[in-house]
Amino acid sequence: MKARELSPKTVHSAVPLPGHRVVLGLDEALRLDSGARLGPFTVAYQTYGTLDARRSNAILICHALTGDQFVIEEHPITGKSGWWEIMVGPGKVLDTDRFFIICANVIGGCMGTTGPKETNPATLKPYGLEFPVITVGDMVRAQTLLLDHLGIEQLFCVIGGSMGGMQVLEWASKYPERVFAAIPIATAARHSAQNIAFHEVGRQAIMADPDWCGGDYLSQGRNPRRGLAVARMAAHITYLSEPALHRKFGRNLQARDAVTYGFDADFQVESYLRHQGIMFVDRFDANSYLYITRAMDYFDMFAEHGGVLADAFKGTKVRFCIFSFTSDWLFPTSESRAIVHALNAVAANVSFVEIKSDKGHDAFLLDEPEFFKVLAGFINGAAEHRGLPRR
């Protein structure tokens, strides 16, 4: 398979980004679920730790909707610490002294991997809505090419939360021989009607912004910042929980003793949400938000198997460890349970733990000692089965 590593200079991205970048699909374009073909295309990725001689200690981390490949280092745009720094690093649960850890920006993304903000070679302008609609299946198919490039036949483990968990399920279902262990976290085998509804609100907020320009804003030197901020605000509420919002903010006022009888951010929760919206638009592309939410909406492993989810995992040898969080109302425990039932029906090797937490969907990114403990136990056990050296 032909592939070409890029130096930062040749990257199409507006911001020069650190990290690896490889051009894939040089000999054959990526066939997308829509029937369209994409290629050649770039994948931007980060690695941590060292691949062992047997190439047996690789862990692929799949990121969520607005995540990216910068798992543990300072984010090149926001300067904030990596989104899973708490989980990944020397001596941590995903131990970089022990494992070779890979995380790639998904196709359709905006952090260096080919997506709607990159240049369309056919027009030499940013793709915008000319970019083909992609699916979670397409994201994973692109990742298999990255693994080919890296010379990794089988992953020791694929792990991810939310949309990352959808990719994990897709990996285990479509490429079971390339996955030893799979850890889908706070996810679902199909996106619910309520979740599609929330995504649609976000998309409509973006498309309602005149600066969106029918998706052509980059060519026109504009940016639908306000629409994207509103989309982020609505989504952000769904990542938290009522108890967490109550505990964190309640009805506390923002730097004032009394309400102002106006439309300023009187309440801390308003100020926090506005801040979340504003920060987000600095690092994310509005069209990417459309494409990636759409990919999640389209995800339906039930439908793909005639309504019988178990058929997605027939005869699987993958070891599964599935997590949900009690206060997660975006991907509630019932969604994980449906996956567990399907895996049980094919006598798969599966553990399932519902972690008690009031932190909502975002709990998978936060300090949850029980989650870490169970996860570390599973990974150690799986590593032993895989014949990796003891810690």
CB of 293 to its own copies, least distance (A): 10
3-state helix, strand, coil in the chain (%, to 5): 40, 20, 45
Nearer Cβ to its own copies (95/138): 138
Q: Which residue has the tokens 């989810």?
A: 309
Annotated active-site residue in 95, 266, 328, 362:
328
Q: Does 229 bind its own copies (CB under 8 A)?
A: yes
Q: Does 197 bind its own copies (CB under 8 A)?
A: yes
Q: Which of residues 202-221 bind its own copies (CB under 8 A)?
A: 203-205, 207-210
Q: Does 264 bind its own copies (CB under 8 A)?
A: no
The correct pick among 130, 242, 367, 384 for binding its own copies (CB under 8 A) is 242
* Contacts within 8 Å (CB) and 24+ apart, 12-18: 12/42, 12/118, 12/119, 13/111, 13/112, 13/117, 13/118, 14/117, 15/76, 15/77, 17/44, 17/76, 17/111, 17/112, 18/73, 18/76
User: Which region among 13-21, 39-47, 99-107, 235-243 touches its own copies (by CB under 8 A)?
Assistant: 235-243
Q: Are strands 100-104 and 58-62 parallel, antiparallel or unpaired?
A: parallel
The correct pick among 11, 234, 338, 345 for binding its own copies (CB under 8 A) is 234
User: Which region among 53-61, 77-85, 149-157, 293-301 touches its own copies (by CB under 8 A)?
Assistant: 293-301
CB of 197 to its own copies, least distance (A): 5
Q: Does 270 bind its own copies (CB under 8 A)?
A: yes
Q: Does 130 bind its own copies (CB under 8 A)?
A: no
Q: Is 372 exposed, middle or buried (0-12, 13-18, 19+ CB in 10 A)?
A: middle
Nearer Cβ to its own copies (307/315): 307
Helix (H, G, I), strand (E, B) or coil at 327: coil
Q: Which residues make Cβ contacts (< 8 Å) with residue 288, sequence separation at least 6?
A: 108, 109, 110, 115, 116, 117
Q: Which of residues 28-47 bind its own copies (CB under 8 A)?
A: 33-36
173 sits in which H/E element = helix 163-174
Q: How far is CA 67 from CA 53, 84, 86, 164, in A?
A: 30, 10, 15, 9
257 is a catalytic site residue:
no
The number of residues making up the chain comes to 391
The correct pick among 74, 130, 177, 200 for binding its own copies (CB under 8 A) is 200
Q: Does 319 bind its own copies (CB under 8 A)?
A: no
Q: Which of residues 76-115 bind its own copies (CB under 8 A)?
A: none
Q: Which residues make Cβ contacts (< 8 Å) with residue 113, sequence separation at least 6?
A: 41, 42, 43, 44, 104, 105, 106, 107, 142
The correct pick among 108, 116, 161, 227 for binding its own copies (CB under 8 A) is 227
Q: Does 230 bind its own copies (CB under 8 A)?
A: yes
300 is a catalytic site residue:
no
Q: Are strands 88-89 and 94-95 parallel, antiparallel or unpaired?
A: parallel
Asked if residue 167 lies in contact with residue 138, where contact means CB atoms within 8 angstroms, the answer is: no
CB of 237 to its own copies, least distance (A): 5
CB of 188 to its own copies, least distance (A): 11
User: Which region among 2-10, 139-147, 152-160, 229-237 touches its own copies (by CB under 8 A)?
Assistant: 229-237
285 is a catalytic site residue:
no
CB of 211 to its own copies, least distance (A): 9
The correct pick among 277, 280, 313, 368 for binding its own copies (CB under 8 A) is 277
Closest CA to 280 of 199, 327, 224, 341: 224
Q: How many chain residues are in contact with its own copies, going by CB under 8 A? A: 59
Q: Does 250 bind its own copies (CB under 8 A)?
A: yes
Return d(Cα 182, Cα 378) in angstroms, integer: 10
Q: What is the CA radius of gyration of the chain?
A: 21
Q: Which residues bind its own copies (CB under 8 A)?
A: 33-36, 129, 132-133, 190-194, 196-198, 200-201, 203-205, 207-210, 226-227, 229-230, 233-234, 237, 240, 242, 245-246, 248-251, 259, 261-263, 265-267, 269-270, 273-274, 277, 290, 294, 297-298, 300, 303, 329, 332
Q: Which residues are catalytic?
A: 162, 328, 361
